Structures are given as structure tokens and as C-alpha cells.
Amino acid sequence: MIVYASRTGNVKYIANNIPVKSIEIVEGMTVSEPYFILTYTDNLGDVPTIVSEFLATNYQHCKGVIASGNSNFGHQYFCNSADKISRKYGIPIIKKIELRGFQKDYDEIKLQYYNLIE
């Protein structure tokens, strides 16, 4: 499963183009099965609050992090949310995606998903 948070629609678009079950984070949600977290990058490289709050109680089943970002803000901030999540929880970074990404990005995520979760 892919658990995601989307603000502008880019992350939701990505989630909808990866052929695995996906659900959007809602406040107070809990997940008790293996999943990838898919998030956008807030401000200049921050983890969105909704994702931080979700992971605080659900990180145990997270097998990888995928982030969407915009390289126009600079390399040091690009998908930095993935770096922060990975460091804090010891979760591997699966993919960093420019905005909505491309089919090759979705294919790589699908392959990693089946290698790590299924």
C-alpha cells in the first residue's frame, strides 16, 4: 500500500499512476500493514505537518519513502522531506520525483514496492 499526502495534486497524481492500493492521509489515521509513504516537500525542504503527525504513530510499518519536489528551489531543498524522514526513522528513500514525475519513475516505484513489500 502507498499512503500519501498531497497539497497541489502532484502527489495524488503520482499515487494514482502506480498500480498498487493507495490511501490519502487523514488526521488520526492508523495503518497496521506494510506501506510506502509518498509525500510532497513543504516550504524549503520540510516534511508536511500531516505527514509528521502520521509517521509519529505509524512509522513502524513504513518500508520506504518517496517524495515529490521542485528542483527550482535548489538542490539542497529538493525532496528534502524524504531525507528528513529517512534519517529520523531509518526508512530507505525509494525515489525522489520532480513534480509529477514520469512513467519511468512510477515503474521504478512499482518494482521497489514488490521487492520490499510483497
pLDDT in tens, 71-95: 988 888 899 999 999 999 999 999 9
Helix (H) or strand (E) segment spanning residue 104: helix 103-116
Bridge partners (DSSP) of residue 68 are 40, 97
Assign residue 90 a region (left: φ > 0; alpha: ψ between -120 and 50; beta: otherwise). Answer: left
- Find the distance separating the first CA and the last CA of the chain, reported in whole Å: 10
pLDDT digits (tens, 9 = 90+) for 25-64: 999 999 999 999 999 998 888 999 999 999 999 999 999 9
pTM of the model: 0.94
Confidence at 118, pLDDT banded by 50, 70, 90: low
